[in-house]
Chain A
Amino acid sequence: MPNYVRLLPPLSCLLLASCSGWQSALNAHGTSAVNLKQLIILIVALCSLVWMLVMVALIGALWRRRPERILPTELDPRRERRMSSAVIAATIAMTAVIGGFTVASFFTTRALGVAGPDDLTVKVGGSQWWWNIEYLNPQSDKSFRTANEIHIPVGRNVRFQLEGDDVIHSFWVPSLAGKQDLIPGRSNELTIRAEHAGIYRGQCAEFCGLQHAHMAFLVIAEPQETFANWVETQRQHADDPPDEERAAGRDAFIAKACASCHTIRGTSASARPVPISHMSAAANTLLLACSKPPVARSRPGSPIRKH
């Protein structure tokens, strides 16, 4: 079993309030997510101020003492002029705020880095309802695939090539970056740079059919060395089960419907679309999200979970 397992278990994460936002735009750990969080805080503060000013004006207008008016249509031209000036001033102020906001938004867009062609490139395919991750290498036998589990080195730009395989999906890891759609017939790109090691949850953000709610994935950011080891492991076949219980689990997996979709490299369940050869324990919980009938779905405590 890979040694990073101890880093991961999401259940222990629940106990620690500090990492309760592992899928949150407010818990930013990627370069662009940090930029976006700053923009969000700036704009929310500014908008709250505008809203409060409007509320002060509203409360003032409602509570004000005022002289009795005799006829509704009898208006004082001087007061009307003063009110016109106030409305015009407010409009100009609002236009200035909105203009400033538009400029701030524009500069944030420019600040979001874009990976160069030399950076690590990961191809992401969106399918109903799982993520097909391909680590491309010029030597084809060094390329490999995973499902719903992405490892990236910390502190490096990683370029994600996004392609929709069936319907439109949206790739979103809020703690690392904003989302980008995967559209059949088009190719989109997204650059992610994790600033801290950790596990970040992502989820499909564009409604994609029956099990859209379960189309999640994990991005595991780790130091370069650990990442390199992981890459090396991925190129190997799956380990043989070390004990009887796990062997039984593997046999059940191959015998039941699971193996009709899921690949385990080095077993007879190979050459299937969904590769799960070296799934981490954290990603394993995502197997709960396997959208196929419950007979093929693992339950906590069942042999498959321990594989």
Chain B
Amino acid sequence: MTDSVLEPKTRDNELDRPLLEAALTETWKTPSGFWNTLSTVDHKIIGKRYIFTAFVFLALGGILAGLMRVQLAQPEARLLSADRYNQIFTMHGANMMFLFAVPVMEAVAIYLVPLMVGTRNIAFPRLNAFSYWIYLAGGLLLWIAFALDMGPDVGWFAYVPLSGPQYGAGKRADIWAQMITFTELSALAVSVELVVTIFKQRAPGMSLDRIPLFAWAMLVTSFLVIMAMPAIMVASTSLILDRLVGTHLFNPVEGGDALLWQHLFWFFGHPEVYIIFLPAAGMVSTILPTFTGRPVFGYLALVMALVATGVLSFGLWVHHMFVTGLPRLGASFFTASSTAIAIPAGIQIFCWLATLWDGKPVFKTPLLFVIGFIVTFVIGGLTGVMVASVPLDTQVHDTYFVVAHFHYVLVGGAVFPLLGAIYYWLPKITGRMMSERLGRWVFGLIFTGFNLTFFPMHILGLEGMPRRIYTYQPDLPWHGLNVFVSASSLVLIAGFLLFFFEAIRSARQGLPAGPNPWNAPTLEWATSSPPPSYNFPRLPVVNGLYPLWEQPTELFVAGGLRVDRRELVVTSMAAAEPEAREASPRNSIWPLWAALATTVTLIWSIFSPWAVVWGPIPVAITLIGWFWPKGTPEDES
């Protein structure tokens, strides 16, 4: 590419605003029509699909939870058979962890991170499209299997030998294992995109100490995914090998080891908790400044806390295995590392409290959810410190105490901030405000319902009620509290129903939001709501952590990008100095075909090892189509 072949006026700084917007729309748009919709690589469209799909899975998982509560409301209930119940609690756990919690955080990041760092699209946008289709296929696999009475029934961590070939009949455990492969594949893809977007596509001037905290949280989370997910892929693939081709990796009778599974699973499974919690912490750190009217207190401490949590999260998986008979000295080490992770969590809480203390809180729904988050997450963190103690854990492990603990951490610690984030960012996505009045009701119902539902479970656990039992005998003293818990869950369900109703209603009938309804300081509020396909007409340049507060009238902008092809700016990793103009891929249908070919291979491999031999051929063909040069301007640059 040389400058002499340039037609006149193909650079953004040569055009007036209306012409510029028209040219950029022409270059970046997703045309209407069925195939164009399937071919899009726009991070906002894919992000919306991801968010919507994840919330559908949340609703489905919630229905399962409701069914379990009906069953447990009375002893010896016959509503669900043991077999159905075991499928339901397995589905609830697997669905919520793999199809809701992790994907929804990545979904929000897919939508927001490119806007927050001020670029036009996510890195590797076709991979992004591919990851969504794979995620959707994994979710459909699990739910269709469940509808066909083939749903996994071995618990969401599928301990061997129960899930092994000797005891796990049929294809149920294989469906679980392969669903893992789908969701891990999509999570890994998204993580790579986010790391590259955050490292290389930040707006000029956004040095490492000016990255919004949500983007920092997603950066750390993405590294956790990249380092933790291989362990679970090894585990689930080994399980399929045991089940399909008769290896004995986990079979103690033939020299395998049943505990090896637990080490592999929890080496992934514990970071998994932080893969869900860290993005939520990033959301809190981003929402707080807007609703307290001051910068978050302790930016550096918060970033260090995120990184420290990420590092420590790899050193405490054994606290899930305290009753497996490990040597005591080793177990004590893991007690120390598990309680140590409370320190970075505490530092974050203290910094948020300081922000609230010095700022001027504006009690809008997003802030209400942040306050609810602090109240409940501290309880979950403290019970987490309790279960980190080896002796204490021998009494509460695998009881309703632990069920209460992890719901406090995951719902209180991640879903509350997520709901706050939806109230905060949905106006950016739909261009319309959600109702404050209903928002207070949603918060009130969910906060009250959640605590009434889950707090009594601590007591049930101490009273000896194990988790994962489909029923209990009438002479056990658990009936009263179980009735109370089941009744309270109705309040929680009502809160979520109202939330879903309100989210859908506001998207159609809400008041117009305008570009920055909250007077928020980060770059995603510098463009219209919803943002145009190219995100920013002119790429912003920042010189601080809160660009819209520091330059309230007009942002500095960078110029010189071509408007007749998809181009964005690549900046240096630390200082975010502009380095190059980089082409960004056009829409393509091939990621969908590649995802379909991968899906066929993965599902086929549940039934026959030959899938691994023949399956890659169609995958290879679709990848060739994906990367084949098509003579577009992006290919030439």
Contacts and interface: CB of A to CB of B under 8 A. Distances in A.
Interface of A: 10-11, 13-14, 20-21, 23-26, 33, 35-36, 39-40, 43-44, 47, 50-51, 54-55, 57-58, 60-62, 64, 66, 68-69, 71-73, 75, 79-80, 83-84, 86-87, 90-91, 94-95, 98, 101-102, 105-106, 108-109, 112, 128, 162, 166-168, 170, 172, 174-175, 177-181, 183-186, 188-189, 201, 203-213, 216, 285, 288
B167 A209 contact: yes
B464 A94 contact: no
B395 A36 contact: yes
B216 to A, nearest CB: 19
Contacts of B289: 72
A132 B477 CA distance: 26
A98 B391 contact: no
B323 A179 contact: yes
Interface residues of B, number: 87
B324 A183 contact: yes
Interface string B457-484: 0000011101111111101110000000
Given A105-B392, A185-B257, A213-B470, A91 B167 contact: no
A178 B257 contact: no
Nearest to A90: B350
Contacts of A84: 298
Contact of B252 (A20, A91, A184): A184
A10 B475 contact: yes
A7 to B, nearest CB: 16
Contacts of B375: 55, 58
A40 to B, nearest CB: 6
B250 to A, nearest CB: 10
Nearest 7 Cβ contacts at the A-B interface: A178-B394, A185-B252, A213-B469, A105-B389, A188-B325, A23-B464, A47-B382
B170 to A, nearest CB: 13
B253 A26 contact: no
A294 to B, nearest CB: 12
A184 B385 CA distance: 30
Interface stretch (B34-42, B102-110, B155-163): B155-163
A186 B259 contact: yes
A185 B342 CA distance: 35
B378 A73 contact: no
A167 B155 CA distance: 13
A112 B391 CA distance: 9
A90 B349 CA distance: 10
B512 interface: no
B389 A205 contact: no
A210 B89 CA distance: 12
Contacts of A40: 386, 392, 395, 462
B383 A47 contact: yes
B374 interface: yes
B342 A98 contact: yes
7 contacts: A10-B475, A58-B353, A66-B360, A69-B293, A108-B392, A203-B469, A205-B398
Contacts of B297: 80, 83, 87
A187 to B, nearest CB: 8
Given A72-B293, A205-B397, 12 more contacts: A14-B475, A20-B477, A39-B389, A64-B357, A87-B298, A90-B346, A94-B342, A106-B332, A179-B395, A181-B324, A185-B257, A207-B162
A180 B475 contact: no
Contacts, number: 250
Contacts of A166: 161, 166-167
A183 B324 CA distance: 7
B83 interface: yes
Interface stretch (B56-64, B200-208, B333-341): B333-341
Contacts of A185: 252-253, 257-258
Given A73-B546, A90-B346, A98-B340, A210 B392 contact: no
Contacts of B353: 54, 57-58, 61
Contact of A174 (B83, B155, B386, B464): B464
B497 interface: no
Contacts of A66: 358, 360
A64 B259 CA distance: 53
Nearest to A184: B252
Contacts of A128: 167
B521 A91 contact: no
B178 interface: no
A149 B473 CA distance: 17
Contacts of A69: 293-294, 359-360
A98 B472 contact: no
Contacts of B397: 170, 179, 205
B346 A61 contact: no
B396 interface: yes
A25 B289 CA distance: 44
Contacts of A26: 462-463
B255 to A, nearest CB: 9
